[in-house]
Every structure is written in C-alpha cells, then in structure tokens.
Structure 1
Amino acid sequence: MEEQRFNDLKLGEKGAIISIIAYIILSILKLGTGFISGSEALKADGLNNATDIAASVAVLIGLRLARKPADEDHPYGHWKSETIASLIASFIMMAVGLQVLYQAITKISHGQEESPDLIAAWVGIFCSIVMFFVYKYNKQLANKINSQAVMAAAKDNLSDALVSIGTVIGIVGSQINLPWLDPLAAVMVGIIICKTAWEIFRESSHHLSDGFNEDTIKSFKQVVLDVDGVEGIKDIKARSYGSNAVVDVTVLINADLGFQEAHHVTTKVEDALKSSSHEVYEVHIHYEPHETNKQSKSV
C-alpha cells in the first residue's frame, strides 16, 4: 500500500514537470508578443504564466518531499508536504493576481490610446488550446492518483486556459475602436487568478487544519456499520495527510465476545475501510462493549 502511494506521488511529478515546461514556453511567447503588439492583456497573461512556473516548482518539490519515508521528526511521514505545496502555490498566484489587477486598473485610469496588434489574439488562442490539453492531462492524473497538489495544478491550468480566452476577447474587442477593452480584459485576468488562488488556499488550509469532508465521514460510518459483528459506532473521525486519510473509529462490539473474536471484528473493520476507498491509508480502531439487549445497530 505505502509503496503504491509513493509510486503515485512519483507519477504526479510528471504532471508538475509537464506544467513547468508548458508555462516556460507559453510565458516567453506571451510576454514577447505582448510587448511587440502592445497588448496589456497578453502581457498580464504572460506574467501569470511566468509565476505559474514558480507555483508548479513548489508543487513538484512538495510531491518529492511527500515521498520521503517516516523518520523520528515525522513519525506519520511527510505526506502533508503535498498540501503545503498547494498552499504555497496559492500564495504565489494571489500575489500575481493582485499585481495584474493593479497594473490593469492603472492602465485604464490613464487611458490606452492604441489597440494592440491582432497577432496577440492568435497567440492567445494557441496558448489557450495548449493549456486546455495540459489541464485535461493533469486532471485525469490527479483523479487517478488522488493528489491534492496535482489537482491544484490542474485547476491552475484550466484558469490559465480561460484567462487566455478572456485575453483574446479583449484584444479582438479593442480592434473595433475600443482600445480600453484590452486593459479591461487584463482586469478580468487578475480576477480569475485571484479567484483560483483563493479556492486552492481554502481547500489546502482546510486539510492542514484537520478539516474533513462530512459526506465522506458518513460513507465511512456506513462501511463500518455494514461489518458483521459491529453493533454500533461511538465515535468516528478522519484527517488528511496529503492525499491520504487516517481514520479513527470507536466501535461497539458485543460484550460477550472474547478478546480474539473482538480483535477479528476490528480487523474486518480496518480491511473494509481500506477497501472502500483508496484514500484510506491508516485506520486506528478502539472497541467498547455493547449491551446485548439492544437489537439494532447505532451510531
């Protein structure tokens, strides 16, 4: 199980590397074309991709740190490095989004007299298509290996594809004697960047503060209650370590059962939880005696 998760993290690094390569190429293309064509929106988009390189590098480092085995300082392993990487990526994206907004709003207030060259629009279309395919790849990879960091990278990829589409709309619109549409598109770029950063920050901080999805907890409860020998559940909790879930559960077992029989029931509970979801990495079980006069299972 642990070896498989290390292999999944290694596979996740491939997605981060693909994102880095794509961002390097597209940021150079967008920034260069933006300066040549005079498009504020394309330059803002290029700056966004340039900082996405740093965010993707943070994800890559986080995935590699998460693969480190447990040691004296980290008895539960380094799994949370993946979530920390997502958090750092959100900070970088938010800083860039605010910078793009500031520059675009300043440009609108001063007025833009000339429309950018139409070549900027073609570059924007090309980049949008490239990022959409990178997004599809990383999303499928994130779902396959259940990686928060790779999914954060995929969301960033999708926002970049949408940003490029918005950039194209602003550039094309500025061609019909509305040059202010180009910096306005840059404002929209900044808003989308900030929104994506906030979503990634909210999810990462939720996991780091030991928050856990309530619906998933309910599904874990049902799995435990379906195990033969379990009379009820006194308490059940779960917390995330990167893309892994550790479940703590206190079950009620018939007080008349011997130690070996009770232990066998808890083993079945552990196996059932791990089989129910590849997210479950470790299960801590405590059992207490249950009054035999109660006929139905309880939670």
Structure 2
Amino acid sequence: MLSKFLVSRFIRNYKDTKEENVRIKYGFLAGTIGIIANFLLFAVKLSVGLVTHSIAITADAFNNLSDTASSIITIVGFKLANKPADEEHPFGHGRIEYLSALAVSFIIMLVGFQFVKESFDRIFNPAEINFSFVPFVLIVISVMIKFWLSRFNKFIANSIDSGALKASSFDALADVIISSVTALSLLLSKWISFPLDSYLGILVALFILYSGFSLTKETLNPLLGEAPDQTLVENIKSGILSYEYISGVHDLVIHNYGPGRCMASIHAEVPCDISIVKIHEVIDKAEKELSNKLKIFLVIHMDPINTNSIEVNKARHELEKVLKSFPLVKSIHDFRVVGDGLYKNLVFDLVVEHTKGFKSEDEERLKKEIDKELKSIHPSYNSMITIDKDFTVL
C-alpha cells in the first residue's frame, strides 16, 4: 500500500502516533503530498489548456492550484498547534488544529455553494457539451489522483485522529465527485443532448454542502466542550482504582486542549483513618504514573470516607437498597452520617442519568421520593441530597 510505504519511508518511529513530534510529522507529510499532487495537476492542466486554448481546462487548472490551500492550511495548523505553552496559553496551542479543520470545512461548503450556483445557471442557460478526448482523459487522471489523495489523507487522519486531515480528505473527495460527474456528462454528450450534468450537479452540490456542514459540526464539538472519549474515561477510572486504599472515584472532568492534550481532575475515595502522609504518597504516585501512561495532565482530589463504622455502613446499605427502585440513579458518593442521638442526617451526592427533558423540578421530585422511601424504612433518617452531573456521558 502506497500510503503505508510513504509513512514508513519519511517518518521515523511512525508507529508511535501518541508522540507529539511523530504526530506533527504525519501532518506535515499529508500537507506536503497534497501540495505536490495539486501543483502537478495544475501544471499539466495549465499546459494543455494553453496549448489547446481551452478555457475549461485552464479554469480547472487554477481550481487545482486553489486546492493547495487546504494542504497549506493543514501544514500551518499543525505548525502553530505545536507551539509550546506560554503565559497566555498555559496548556499549549493544540486547539489551533481544530480551527484549521474548521477552515477547510468552510472551504468545502464554499465549493458546494459555488457548484449549486453553476448547476442552476446551466439549467436556465444550457450550453452544448461537445465530447473531446484530451479533456476527458485529463479529468479521468485527475479523478484517480484526487481519489488516492483522499484515501491517503483519510489514512493519516485515522492514524493520528486528526479532524483537520479528515476535512482535507473530504475536500479531495468532493473534487473526485465533481470531476466524475463532469466526465460522465462529457461521455454521455456523445449520445444525449439533455443537460444531465446540471441536475446531477445540484445533487452532488447538496451532498457536498451536507458533508461540509457535518464536518463543521464535528470540528466545533471539541471547541464547544463535547463529552470525552469513553475509552479514556474508563482507563482513568480503572487506573486510579488499581492503587492501594482507593475504593471509589467520582466527579471526573476532562478538558480537551487539542489532540493529545487533555487535563483531567477526579475525586478519589480513601479511608479516613489512614495517615495523610501515606495516602498523599499514593495519590501523588497515581497522578504521575497515570499522567505519563495516558498522556494527560491528571489531578486527583482526596475524599476521606468512613469505612469502619457499623452505623455508617448499615445506613449506606439501606440507602443502596432504596435506590434500586430508582433507575435514573447511576451511583452515589461522598456518603456520610451527621448528627448525634436518634435522628441522623444522611448526606450524599447522587449521579443521575439526565435524560432528555429532565429538568430542575424533576431533580427536586426525585429527592423527595428518595427521602420518602428512606423514612418508610427508618423514620429517623433525614436525607440531604445533592444531584451531581456526570460530565463524561456521551
């Protein structure tokens, strides 16, 4: 496979895609190949266009020259995203890669709008299409090169999980679709006079617009704050729970500062009767080791819990039995019993599944129903509930 050969030929340690320098080299390679391919198409088409005095071929040549913009944006985006952190941007400049993907997505939509306009113009002002061998061959060659370029960019994008290269891949694919429709129209013009290319052009343009909009939405999601990757979430939770004394985790929040640049904070439940110095050593070790292993910046907050009190364990067990009848409740944390004498306050946080339409009044209703069920079992219990949000849910 040519794509794998190019990667292995020009990128040292190409399999280690988590390394920042390797990832940048992937982006540079994709951008460079894109510039070379589009410039070669421009040179060939321009030469043929000037020799044959074909305005269509000459115009298509400059279209290929403009396509180098996507590749240049990709290279510049990777270059700027790799700038080190500074006082104004303490977590680096990784989100610039999302902005470069957004720019390419806008270019794709611009192509779609332009193609819609040209297709409608041809419907209302049809022009006779005459088959010519040289333009037809050039279009076929262009389709083949652009199709490979699309597959190459997609291969690189999947290798390093790059939204910018996914957009560049579809940018090349859009040219493949447009050129294929043009080639089909040229071929059919030998037998039919109906302006089929105009109507096919509208369908293709609408598809390009939809795809450009989808790419824009996909690129905006990490900028707006989408839910984190579930594999990363599970790796953080299971990693922390593997350390001694840590019995539970909650309140995981992950901030995305660009591909491969994440900051995460989480609460870890630890026994309240363990030495602060001892448990701090465990937490500090977990932070450093998991940060290096998962390529993130991890901060762990300690939540001491009472695990040896018979009263606390009994109250928690009774609460857990009650919560089984509430399917919206996913988990509880920060559970404690407050008060002396017969009457006790059960203080805890609930993580609930926020389904569509779940509002603040629904939260209050849920609290009252749980409190009512608890009192039916133990009248001296009074619940103090905080509804918590799971920030890792897709």
Q: TM-score normalised by the shorter chain: which range applies?
A: 0.7 to 0.9
Residue 11 of structure 1: how far off its partner (Å): 3.1
Of 10, 30, 34, 1:15 maps to 30
CA distance in 2 between partners of 1:274 and 1:217 (Å): 13
Residue 222 of structure 1: how far off its partner (Å): 4.8
Q: Deviations over 1:241-286 (max 9, x none)?
A: 22123323222223233333344245336634753x5xx4322322
Of 53, 69, 81, 2:68 maps to 53
Say whether the 8 Å CA contact 2:28–2:75 is kept in structure 1. yes
Residue 216 of structure 1: how far off its partner (Å): 4.2
Of 243, 255, 279, 1:261 maps to 279
Q: Alignment partner of 2:201: what SS?
A: helix
Of 196, 200, 217, 1:202 maps to 217
CA distance in 2 between partners of 1:31 and 1:108 (Å): 28
Say whether the 8 Å CA contact 1:104–1:184 is kept in structure 2. yes
CA distance in 2 between partners of 1:181 and 1:237 (Å): 54
CA distance in 2 between partners of 1:192 and 1:29 (Å): 29
Distance 1:176 1:83, change over 3 A: same
Residue 177 of structure 1: how far off its partner (Å): 1.0
Say whether the 8 Å CA contact 1:51–1:93 is kept in structure 2. no
**Within-5 A mapping of 1:62-81:** 62-81=77-96
Say whether the 8 Å CA contact 1:132–1:161 is kept in structure 2. yes
CA distance in 2 between partners of 1:185 and 1:271 (Å): 57
CA distance in 2 between partners of 1:76 and 1:219 (Å): 23
Residue 69 of structure 1: how far off its partner (Å): 0.7
CA distance in 1 between partners of 2:263 and 2:223 (Å): 13
* Structure 1 residues not aligned, in runs of 5+: none
Residue 220 of structure 1: how far off its partner (Å): 4.1
Equivalences, count: 295
CA distance in 2 between partners of 1:44 and 1:94 (Å): 20
**Within-5 A mapping of 1:83-162:** 83-162=98-177
Q: Alignment partner of 2:248: what SS?
A: strand
* Counterpart check, 1:247 vs 2:276: no
1:271 corresponding residue in structure 2: 289
Distance 1:231 1:157, change over 3 A: farther
Of 277, 288, 296, 1:281 maps to 296
TM normalised by structure 1 equals: 0.81
CA distance in 1 between partners of 2:274 and 2:48 (Å): 75
Q: Alignment partner of 2:254: what SS?
A: strand
CA distance in 2 between partners of 1:28 and 1:191 (Å): 30
CA distance in 1 between partners of 2:185 and 2:192 (Å): 12
Of 191, 198, 221, 2:206 maps to 191
CA distance in 2 between partners of 1:179 and 1:106 (Å): 15
CA distance in 1 between partners of 2:281 and 2:165 (Å): 38
Q: Deviations over 1:116-163 (max 9, x none)?
A: 424433322222221232233323323333333223222333333344
CA distance in 1 between partners of 2:138 and 2:121 (Å): 24
Of 183-192 and 230-239, deviating more is 183-192
Residue 50 of structure 1: how far off its partner (Å): 4.2
* Counterpart check, 1:235 vs 2:251: yes
Say whether the 8 Å CA contact 1:108–1:184 is kept in structure 2. yes
Distance 1:17 1:232, change over 3 A: same
Distance 1:142 1:165, change over 3 A: same
Distance 1:287 1:274, change over 3 A: same
Greater RCO structure (CA 8 Å; 6+ sep): 1
Of 196, 210, 220, 1:181 maps to 196
Mark the structure with the bigger radius of gyration.
2
Residue 208 of structure 1: how far off its partner (Å): 1.0
Distance 1:152 1:184, change over 3 A: same
Using the aligned pairs only, state the percent identity. Answer: 25
Say whether the 8 Å CA contact 1:171–1:181 is kept in structure 2. no
CA distance in 1 between partners of 2:85 and 2:91 (Å): 6
